[in-house]
Structure 1
Amino acid sequence: MRRVVVVGYPAAELLDIACVTSTLIMSNLFGAAPPYDVSFATLGGRPVVCASGLTLAAQTVLEHETGPLDTLIIAGGIGCDDAAGNPLLIAHVRRLAAVTRRVASVCTGASVLAETGLLDGRRATTHWWHAPRLAARHPQITVDSDPIFIRDGAVATSAGVTAALDLTLAFIEEDHGAEVARTTSRHLVTYLQRPGNQAQMSMFVKPPAPDGPLSTLTAFIGANLCDDLSTPALARRAGTSERHLTRLFVKHLGSSPARYVREARLEAAARLLETTDLTMAVIAQRTGFGRAESLRQAFTSRYGIAPSAFRKSR
C-alpha cells in the first residue's frame, strides 16, 4: 500500500481535502497498484469544523502517525494562518516529512508547509489571492502565483482549491501511468489534468474591463479572434492613440493589448483542443494564429506542452 496522510485543521477547506482523498481512492478502483491507503489526520484525532461549516471526522491522530509514508499532503483553508502558527502542528508535519517520499500542500496549505522550512530556497505556488502574503512573510521562497501546481524536487505545491485535483492526477500518472490517471479522470468527469504551468485564473473570468471603450474592445476581441487585432487596428477601432490604448490595457487589465490578444487566442485554442476534434490547421485559423505551426509554437511556449499532447490528455 502507498500510505498517504492528508493533514487538516479547524477551518480547513473541505474541497482541498476531498479533491485529494476522493481522487486517490477512486484510482484504486482502476488499476492503482500498489493501491493508496489514505488517512485524514488532525491533532489529537479531533474532528474539525471545515470552512464550509461541515464537521469532518479524523481517521488518525497526527501525533501517532509514523513513517515511512509515501505522500504527506497539507490541506489549505481559511484556518491556515492559525495552523501555521501552531508549533505542535508544524513540528509533526516536519517530523513526518523527514520519513515521507513526497510532500505537498494544496491551496493555502503552503503557509503551513512554509513554516516547516521545507519550502526554503524552492519555487512554490498557492492560491493567487494568498500569494502576495506568502511571499511577504517568507522571502526565502520564490512564490509564483501563476501556475496550477509546481514540483520542486520531492516537494509540490498547488494553487487554489480544485487545483488539488490536477496535482493529485499528476501524482497518479507519475505513480501508475497515464491510463490509470486517464480512467480516474473520466470517472471524475474532468479532463486528465491541466498542465502544471497553466494560469490559475482564466482571463475570461477575471474582473471585466470598466464600462466604456475598453469593455467594448475586449468584447470585440473575444468575438473576433480571426480579425486584425494588432495594436494599431485596435487603437483605430477605439478612436484613440496606440500609446493611450496601451496605458488603458496595462492599468485596467495588467497586460499590453498584444499580450491580451495572444492570451485570448491561446485560451480559445485550448478550449477547442479539449472539446472538439478539429484539426490543428482549422483551430489555428479559427483562433487567429493562421498556421498550425504558429499555434504550436505559441501554445508550447505558454503552456509548456504541445497542442497535440494537450489534446491527448483531455
Structure 2
Amino acid sequence: MQRVGFTIFPGYSMMGLAVVSVFELANMLAEKSVYDVRLLSESGGLVQSSVGMRIETEAFDAGDYDTLIIGGGTEIAPPSPGLTAFLRQTPGRRRRTASICTGAFVLAEAGLLDGRRATTHWFHARQLQALFPKVKVDEDRIFVVDGPIYTSAGMTAGIDLALALVEEDLGLEIARSVARKLVVYHRRAGGQSQFSALLELEPKSDRIQSALAYAKRNLHMRLTVEQLAEAAHLSPRQFSRAFHAETGQSPAKAVEHLRIEEARMMMEQGTRPIDSIARDTGFSDRDHMRRAFLRAFGQPPQVIRRNARGEARI
C-alpha cells in the first residue's frame, strides 16, 4: 500500500482537499486499498483553514511516504521552519513530492524546486519567479512534472495532477473512471494552458453556452451562424445579437479562439502533421491556421511545437 501524505498548514484552502477524493475513488475502483492517505501538519491536531473551518491532522513523523502533497493557501506567507525542515530532511524517503497552487512557494522555500520547472496559479507565478530565481516557472500550465517533483496551477488543477498520479500507478482506465465518478468534464493534461477560451467568453445564458458546447464538439466542421443558432434554438439574427451581448465577440471570432486553443494543445502534446491538425480543428489549411496563431500568440505553430518539445527535454 502506498502512503500519501497530504500536508496542510494554518490558512490552507479547503479546495485543495478535493484531491483526497481522487485517491479515495481510486481505491474503490481498483477494488483494493492502493492508497493510505494521511492528513499531516507540523504539530498535528486541529488546523484552521482560510475560511475558519478546522480539520484533524497527524503530526509529521519519521515514516516513509510514497507521495507527499503540499496544499496551498489563499495568501502567500513563508512556511514554518518545521515544515521546511520536514521537506528538506525526507526527500530521499519518498517517490514523489507534489504541490497544489501556492504550495509551490513552500517547495521553493525548501529548495526542492531549484533548477527545476514548476508552475503555480497564474496570478502568483511572477511572484514565485521573483522570489525564487533558480526556479524555471511556467505560468501557463495546468501542472508540471520535473523528475520526482510535481506542481500544479490553481486549486482545481490539483485534481488533474492527482488523476495523473493515479494514471501512473493504476493505468489510464482507472484514472478515467475516477474522473467520471468526480463528474470531471474533461481530464486536462499537464501541458494544457491555464486559460480557457470558453471561460474567457463567459456566456451567461444556457442557449449561448449550448451553442459554444456544440462548436467545441464540432471544430472539425465548417461552423456557420445558422448552425450555432440552431443549437441555441434561436433565429440567426437573435443569436448573433445575443451572442455579442453576452460575450463581446462575434460568433466567428469566438469559434476561431476555440479552434486555436484546440490546435495549440494538439501541437504541444503530439506529433501529428500540421496539415492534419489544421484540418481536424476546422482551419481551411495550414496557412489559415498559421495566420490565426500569429494573431493570437505572435508565433507560428512550428515555433510553439518546438518550444514545447524543448521544455519536455529539460
Q: Same fold (TM over 0.5)?
A: yes
> SS of the residue aligned with 1:98?
helix
Q: C-alpha distance in 1, partners of 2:179/2:120?
A: 23
2:36 aligned with 1:37: yes
Give a deviation string over 1:27-57, Cα, whole Å, max 9, x none. Answer: 1001176610000001110312212332222
2:155 — aligned with what? 161
Q: C-alpha distance in 2, partners of 1:204/1:176?
A: 31
Matches of residues 1-314 of structure 1 in structure 2 within 5 Å?
1-18=1-18, 20-31=19-30, 35-58=34-57, 60-62=58-60, 65-82=61-78, 84=79, 86-191=80-185, 193-206=187-200, 263-267=257-261, 288-290=282-284, 301=305
> SS of the residue aligned with 2:199?
coil
Q: C-alpha distance in 1, partners of 2:263/2:113?
A: 35
Q: C-alpha distance in 2, partners of 1:71/1:53?
A: 27
Give a deviation string over 1:147-178, Cα, whole Å, max 9, x none. Answer: 00000001110001000000000000001111
Query: Is contact 2:11–2:49 with CA below 8 Å preserved after alignment?
Result: yes
Query: Is contact 2:43–2:59 with CA below 8 Å preserved after alignment?
Result: yes
Q: How much has 1:287 moved relative to structure 2?
A: 5.3
2:271 — aligned with what? none
Query: Is contact 2:41–2:59 with CA below 8 Å preserved after alignment?
Result: yes
Q: How much has 1:139 moved relative to structure 2?
A: 0.3
Give a deviation string over 1:176-232, Cα, whole Å, max 9, x none. Answer: 111111111111111462111111121443499xxxxxxxxxxxxx9x9969xxxxx
Which amino acid counterpart does residue 105 of structure 1 have in structure 2? S
Which amino acid counterpart does residue 48 of structure 1 have in structure 2? V
Q: C-alpha distance in 1, partners of 2:109/2:59?
A: 21
Larger deviation: 178-187 or 196-205? Answer: 196-205
Aligned-residue identity in percent: 40
- Gaps of at least 5 residues in structure 2 are 203-215, 224-252, 266-274, 290-299, 310-314
Q: C-alpha distance in 1, partners of 2:38/2:260?
A: 39
1:245 — aligned with what? none
Which amino acid counterpart does residue 36 of structure 1 have in structure 2? Y
Q: C-alpha distance in 1, partners of 2:187/2:308?
A: 14
Q: CA, structure 1 residues 22+270, in 2 after alignment: closer, same or farther (shift >3 Å)?
A: farther
Q: C-alpha distance in 1, partners of 2:88/2:17?
A: 19
Q: How much has 1:97 moved relative to structure 2?
A: 2.5
Query: Is contact 2:264–2:301 with CA below 8 Å preserved after alignment?
Result: no
> SS of the residue aligned with 2:169?
helix
Which amino acid counterpart does residue 194 of structure 1 have in structure 2? R
Q: CA, structure 1 residues 140+128, in 2 after alignment: closer, same or farther (shift >3 Å)?
A: same
Q: C-alpha distance in 2, partners of 1:2/1:122?
A: 25
> SS of the residue aligned with 2:96?
strand
Q: CA, structure 1 residues 303+195, in 2 after alignment: closer, same or farther (shift >3 Å)?
A: farther
Q: CA, structure 1 residues 192+71, in 2 after alignment: closer, same or farther (shift >3 Å)?
A: farther
1:309 — aligned with what? none
1:248 — aligned with what? none
Q: How much has 1:78 moved relative to structure 2?
A: 2.1
**For the aligned residues, what is the CA RMSD?**
3.7
Q: CA, structure 1 residues 153+32, in 2 after alignment: closer, same or farther (shift >3 Å)?
A: farther
Which amino acid counterpart does residue 59 of structure 2 have in structure 1? V
Q: CA, structure 1 residues 146+170, in 2 after alignment: closer, same or farther (shift >3 Å)?
A: same
Query: Is contact 1:72–1:97 with CA below 8 Å preserved after alignment?
Result: no
Give a deviation string over 1:72-115, Cα, whole Å, max 9, x none. Answer: 01001124414x2x111110122233311101111000000001
Which amino acid counterpart does residue 61 of structure 1 have in structure 2? A
- Gaps of at least 5 residues in structure 1 are 209-221, 228-258, 272-280, 306-314
